Amino acid sequence: MTAKLPALSLQWDVFCRVIDNFGDIGVCWRLVAQLAARGQRVRLWVDDASALQWMAPEGCTGVDVRPWHAPPPGADEPPPDVMVEAFGCEIAPEFIAYSARQASARGPKHPRPVWINLEYLSAEGYVERTHGLPSPILSGPAAGWTRWFFYPGFTPATGGLLRESDLMARREAFDRDAWRADHRTAFALGEDAPGTRWASLFCYEPAALPELLQRCEAEPTRLLVTPGRPAAAVRAALQGRDGNAGQAAPQCSSTQHGQLSISYLPHRPQPAFDAMLWACDFNAVRGEDSLVRALWAGQALVWHIYPQHDNAHHDKLHAFLDWLQAPASLRRFHATWNGLDTAPLQWPDDATLAEWTLCIQHARSRLLTQDSLVTQLLGFVTEKR
């Protein structure tokens, strides 16, 4: 059942601190853009907006990006109806004090802002237990208010996943052959050999990466390497091999290693990142945002989960694979890719890759029966107001 949406356009203030790798700002930008597409007014407060220059170069109508330390809104601007702190970033005390003053000036008949802590994505059982729970504010200018925990997730008992209303229609209309032809032209590549696999690489520094590259060299493969840490990891894995292969290759360049063609990609806007995932037969992704986008892509994937010093990410990975109903071969690949074991990396044959793809598509079908995160968030705010 679709959640009831607010009748009016509300003022949302979304707060984001960029920890590393731009995953936080990637999720937050998709959130604010989708809120704006639903007719909401949004201010995004962020401590490092530099990634938006390539992630969202055209901006978004209805979204106002502001520096984290900018002063609170002026007297001629609307105060917040909703405050969202992403990933526990803790809203600046000055903004909380401002919001409390504005709420007091509005009077008791006007709803207080709905204060939401948007949490990290996980398939672990605690997510269903804690999604939507209140956290009373006991001190400070907002004493007596309530902050609500909102958990993204993979099941109907969670807050769902970010998904644009037209995403599946755009996915269905995507012309993979045309995209691949454009890529070959841009990188001055020849035609594909029969049976060529296309794979994307967005990872940290997996220990199994050199083995993956070696296996890809033995069969026709186009590997699309995203910039930053993935490109550096590939260059390090190739260091000392194939002459100068370990030297830094510029963006928008390609190198050949046996039957493996490597394309070093530039930074790209979020819609172009989605298109890359749609164009590939296999996607290696990392973090939160790219995992969700790879699920919507419906192609075989491996998730490089963010490593934690206490190995808490192991349980998180197993919980995701359980929800995914991953076959044994995909579980083994994830274990090796994430360094949970040192077993040889089992690069899939065609039948196994098809099994992985079918697994992802079945999982996507389950997700599509659930309301998106923004739909649920709008309904949640309506209820709390």
> What's the angle, vertex CA 271, arms to CA 187 and CA 31, rounded to 5?
150
Separation between Cα atoms, residue 236 and residue 259, nearest integer Å? 19
**80, 103 Cβ separation under 8 angstroms:** no
Separation between Cα atoms, residue 10 and residue 34, nearest integer Å? 14
The active-site residue out of 24, 81, 85, 289 is: 24
Q: Retrieve residue 3's tokens.
A: 């959640």
Residue 159 to residues 72, 81, 114, 118, 376: CA-CA distances in angstroms? 29, 20, 16, 10, 6
124-140 burial, b at 16+ Cβ within 10 Å, e below that, comes to beebbeebbeeeebeee
**Strand arrangement, sheet containing 253-257:** 253-257, 260-264, 221-225, 197-201, 282-286, 300-304
Q: At what angle do helices 176-186 and 270-279 cross, to 10 degrees?
A: 110
Rg, the chain, Cα only: 22
User: Which residue type, as a one-letter code, is found at position 93?
Assistant: P
Residue 219 catalytic? no
Give the count of beta carbons closer than 10 Å to the beta carbon of residue 110.
14
Q: Retrieve residue 79's tokens.
A: 């105060």
Q: Retrieve residue 325's tokens.
A: 């109903």
**167, 185 Cβ separation under 8 angstroms:** no
User: Which residue type, as a one-letter code, is found at position 331?
Assistant: R
3-state SS, 286-334, equals ECCHHHHHHHHHCCEEEEECCCCCCCHHHHHHHHHHHHHCCCHHHHHHH
Residue 24 catalytic? yes
147-186 burial, b at 16+ Cβ within 10 Å, e below that, comes to bbbbbbbbeeebbbbbbbeebeeebeeeeeeebbeebbee
The active-site residue out of 13, 119, 281, 288 is: 288
Residues forming the active site: 24, 288
